């Protein structure tokens, strides 16, 4: 036997050992790829309805957002109207205060003067009955 024959025998045995180790590895890789393919198919089948539902929810949220914006704008208008009414009431109250206060003071002063006048004349009337005459 020549050296080349021994080399070919060793090489053949080495290739057979490598092939024997590669066969289970390749079988496992094939099973893994098949399982991954099955999982991807399942995800694809479940993802489509989920995306459809997400699209519907997004549309409904968009409609709700528009309605909410309209309500907020309407509330802003109402708040503006209430603020104008409050400003008008404040101006009216100030006007009444500046106009009515002097008039009320004059009426009070006149009333106090009449009260003082009448009490003065009530004191000057002689009393018919005295305490010590009993």
What's the mean pLDDT in 111-120? Answer: 84
- The answer to whether residue 19 is domain-embedded is yes
- The answer to whether residue 13 is domain-embedded is yes
Which residues are CB-neighbours of 20 under 8 A, at least 6 positions away?
Answer: none
The larger pLDDT score, comparing residue 102 to residue 125, is at 102
Distances in Å between the alpha carbon of 20 and those of 6, 9, 28, 74? 21, 16, 13, 79
- The answer to whether residue 129 is domain-embedded is no
* Among candidate residues 86, 35, 14, 76, the one with its CA nearest the CA of residue 22: 14
- The answer to whether residue 87 is domain-embedded is yes
pLDDT by residue (tens digit) across 54-108? 999 999 999 999 999 999 999 999 999 999 999 999 999 888 888 888 888 888 8
Name the band, by pLDDT with cuts 50, 70 and 90, for residue 126: low
- The answer to whether residue 132 is domain-embedded is no
- The answer to whether residue 130 is domain-embedded is no
- The answer to whether residue 134 is domain-embedded is no
Q: Give the residue ranges of DSSP H helices in the chain.
A: 3-124
Backbone φ/ψ region at 32: left (φ over 0), alpha (ψ -120 to 50), beta: alpha
- The answer to whether residue 131 is domain-embedded is no
Residue 119 pLDDT: 82
Distances in Å between the alpha carbon of 78 and those of 51, 64, 85, 86? 40, 21, 10, 12
* Among candidate residues 25, 46, 47, 44, the one with its CA nearest the CA of residue 36: 44
Number of independent structural domains in the chain: 1
Which residue segment(s) compose the domain that 16 sits in? 3-122
């Amino acid at each position: 036997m020549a050296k080349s024959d021994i080399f070919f025998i060793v090489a053949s045995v080495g290739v057979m050992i490598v092939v024997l180790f590669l066969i289970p590895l390749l079988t496992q890789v094939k099973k893994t790829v098949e399982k991954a393919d099955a999982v991807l198919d399942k995800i694809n089948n479940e993802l489509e309805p989920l995306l459809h539902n997400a699209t519907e929810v997004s549309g409904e949220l968009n409609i709700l957002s528009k309605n909410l914006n309209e309500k907020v704008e309407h509330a802003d208008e109402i708040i503006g109207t209430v603020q104008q009414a409050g400003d008008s009431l404040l101006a009216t109250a100030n006007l009444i205060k500046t106009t009515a206060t002097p008039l009320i003071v004059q009426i009070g002063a006149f009333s106090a003067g009449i009260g003082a006048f009448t009490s003065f004349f009530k004191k000057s009337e002689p009393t018919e009955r005295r305490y010590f005459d009993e």
